[in-house]
């Protein structure tokens, strides 16, 4: 009976088809480098971040990567996993490496600092260029702003507000790859949430900042950002909203 109990527990913890080890290729170097092969023990409920952490702590301490919260909140651990940009802390190995093969590379469209760590400055500089800062219209002496949760503007902002700034959409976007000046889906999504914020007073300058060939009008609506966003946001829809708003503003001579 005791043996059967152990077997039953194992059957719930381990997939019988699961390989014992993972064959992992990890990018080592900066812009120039190569993939290095590692063998990592496979475990139940293992995430891709667990795999990278195992390599760094047990096999090669010189491996550089970035993470913080490990629970899908901070947006630090995004990498390219088997060719797709993903948040690694919430990506289970079972879902992406059924045959036991993993290829882990840094995010596309951003300069590689070392190994799996990319330089995010360009990404967040674009948020600043898109006027992604809240521009208050009230002071601390004013009362609380009343924003109805069921108002159209608030719903519009809510649709894009949960962005964690992981850079997955930026890496997935072909337009970013083709046009390095393009602000990208995350910065434009941020601009749209602020544009939809009735408390914000920076709409005219924000629309001017996000309009044109380097802004929302460069988007081809491929929807890679929506396809890959780990938070299931739709930056393409946010960008479409900005396109319409900026087009009307241009026709009225406001930008």
What are the residues binding another protein (CB under 8 A)? 175, 178-179, 208, 211-213, 215, 217-218, 243, 246-247, 249-251, 253, 255
In the complex with another protein, the residue whose CB is nearer, 163 or 175, is 175
Smallest gap from Cβ 160 to another protein, in A, equals: 21
If the CB atoms of residues 120 and 216 are measured against another protein, the closer one turns out to be: 216
The Cα 43–Cα 112 span in angstroms is 29
What tokens does 68 get?
């913080």
Q: Shortest distance, CB of residue 133 to another protein, whole angstroms?
A: 19
Question: What's the min distance (Å) between Cβ of 216 and another protein?
Answer: 9
- Residue in the block written with tokens 């992406």: 96
Evaluate whether 184 touches 123 at the Cβ level (below 8 Å).
yes
161 vs 249, beta carbon nearer another protein: 249
Residues forming beta bridges with residue 80, ordered by sequence position: 85, 105
Shortest reach from residue 238's CB to another protein, in Å: 17
Q: Which CB, 46 or 236, lies closer to another protein? A: 236
Cβ 193 to another protein, closest distance in Å?
21
Distance of CA 48 to the CA centre of its chain: 15
Decide whether 92 or 244 has the Cβ nearer to another protein: 244
Supply the DSSP string of 38-62, one letter for each residue: EEEE--TT-BHHHHHHHIIIII-TT
HSE (side-chain half, CA atoms, 13 Å) at 107: 32
What are the tokens at 100? 């036991």
């Amino acid at each position: 009976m005791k043996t059967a109990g152990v077997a039953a527990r194992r059957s719930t913890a381990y997939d019988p088809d699961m390989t014992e080890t993972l064959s992992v290729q990890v990018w080592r170097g900066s812009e120039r480098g190569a993939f290095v092969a590692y063998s990592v023990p496979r475990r139940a409920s293992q995430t891709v971040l667990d795999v990278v952490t195992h390599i760094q702590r047990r096999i090669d301490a010189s491996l550089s990567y970035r993470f913080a919260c490990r629970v899908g909140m901070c947006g630090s651990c995004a990498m390219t996993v088997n060719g797709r940009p993903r948040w690694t802390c919430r990506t289970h190995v079972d879902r992406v490496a059924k045959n036991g093969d993993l290829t882990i590379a840094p995010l596309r469209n951003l300069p590689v600092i070392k190994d799996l760590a990319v330089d995010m400055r360009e990404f967040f500089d674009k948020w600043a260029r898109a006027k992604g800062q809240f521009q208050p219209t009230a002071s601390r002496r004013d009362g609380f702003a009343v924003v109805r949760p069921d108002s159209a503007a608030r719903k519009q902002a809510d649709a894009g507000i949960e962005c964690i700034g992981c850079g997955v959409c930026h890496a997935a976007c072909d337009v970013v790859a083709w046009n390095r000046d393009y602000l990208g889906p995350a910065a434009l999504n941020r601009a749209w949430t602020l544009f939809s914020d009735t408390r914000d007073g920076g709409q005219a300058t924000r629309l001017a900042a996000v309009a044109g060939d380097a802004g929302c009008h460069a988007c081809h609506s491929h929807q890679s950002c929506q396809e890959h966003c780990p938070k299931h946001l739709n930056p393409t829809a946010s960008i479409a909203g900005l396109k319409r708003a900026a087009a009307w503003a241009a026709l009225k001579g406001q930008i």
